[in-house]
Amino acid sequence: MTKVISFFGAIVFAFASMFPWMFNQFPKTPSGQKVDMTKFEMTWNDEFDGDTLDRTKWDTHDWLKVRKGGYWNKELVSVHDGNLDIATKYVKDGLDGSPAGYYTGIVETRINKDNVLFEQCYGYFECRCILPPSTGMWSAFWMMNEGVYNIDDSGEDGTEVDIFESMRYKDHWWKAGDAVVSGIHYDNYGPESKGDSIGYWFTGNNPYEEYNTYGLEWNADEYIFYINGVETGRITKGGVSDNPEYLILSCEVAGENGVANADRHGTGEINLPKDGTAVHFLVDYVRVYQYKDLL
């Protein structure tokens, strides 16, 4: 009898994972512990005041133009009204020699691997933002270093850490609309690539119209993810990176070779019209803290 109960329990668990709407699992409001900010001290921040991007803190990654189903271009990045604004829209005449297509942008705290503007190992990393409302695309707050490309069955020398990715705007089929995903990747991006995720489980407060915060606590033992200061999950797979990492804010369009399509983790087809209508990833601030006992 015990084996029978265990068998049916496994089936129920599998269906809960495959069809979460049947069990009212999506989306969830975080309900874990709150981040303890008393153990941190701020080491770096950008409040995006003024009307220009602070080039002592960010670069616009101009050397890479094609990105999945769209194009990255500095013209889609601006600062105004106390926000970093990464817009996404269709540009019928293209920009800077690239053809017609969906254009968006990226900023990161390095110019190239030999010129890093800011990086840090361990601490707490947080941004406050409004997500861009469109299917077929996503925004992200993430971290990287060159060790990610080493294939050695370990993330300790470098890990891509996705503090959040907003891949499922108004996802009706999987009932995961408004949920974000957090996770890690290491060992390059080919067949040896490895990673882990806390899944499309958690949402903020009306995140495509209101500001929410997305944070990561990173220490020698684990990565702890937060929404609005409340824990959503923890990851330890592959070991924790012990190398400094730089910060990235970006938007991307699902597809490949600059051609948009619905092939990226259930984003759906992009619903932005081709008349120049834009959606906006608005970032109010990025703040970085270090453990006081590591300063």
Q: What is the pLDDT of residues 68-125, one digit of tens each?
A: 999 999 999 999 999 999 999 999 999 999 999 999 999 999 999 999 999 999 999 9
Residue 238's pLDDT is 96
With a CB cutoff of 8 Å and minimum separation 6, the contacts of 80 are: 51
26-294 is classed in which CATH architecture?
Sandwich (2.60)
- pTM of the entire predicted model: 0.91
Quick check: helix, strand or coil at residue 44? strand
> 23 pLDDT exceeds 50?
no
Residue 231's pLDDT is 97
Condensed to tens digits (0 to 9), the pLDDT of residues 29-51 reads 888 899 999 999 999 999 999 99
Confidence grade of residue 26 (pLDDT, cut at 50, 70, 90): low
Residue 10's pLDDT is 46
Task: Decide: 40 and 48 in contact? Cβ < 8 Å.
Answer: no
DSSP H stretches of helix in the chain: 2-18
- Residues 223, 183: Cα–Cα separation, whole Å: 9
- Residues 191, 282: Cα–Cα separation, whole Å: 35
Query: What beta strand segments (E) does 159-261 contain?
Result: 160-165, 181-186, 194-197, 212-218, 223-227, 230-235, 246-253, 255-256, 259-260
Average the pLDDT over 234-248 and give the result.
97
Condensed to tens digits (0 to 9), the pLDDT of residues 245-294 reads 999 999 999 999 999 988 777 788 899 999 999 999 999 999 999 999 99
Query: Which range (11-15, 33-37, 153-157) has the least confidence?
Result: 11-15
Backbone torsions φ then ψ of 236, nearest 5 degrees = -130, -5
Residue spans per domain, the chain: 26-294
Residue 4's pLDDT is 46
Condensed to tens digits (0 to 9), the pLDDT of residues 264-274 reads 777 888 999 99
Residue 149's pLDDT is 97
Higher pLDDT, 67 or 12: 67
DSSP designation for 33: P
Condensed to tens digits (0 to 9), the pLDDT of residues 172-231 reads 666 678 889 999 999 999 999 999 999 888 999 999 999 999 999 999 999 999 999 999
Residue 63's pLDDT is 80
Residue 46's pLDDT is 98
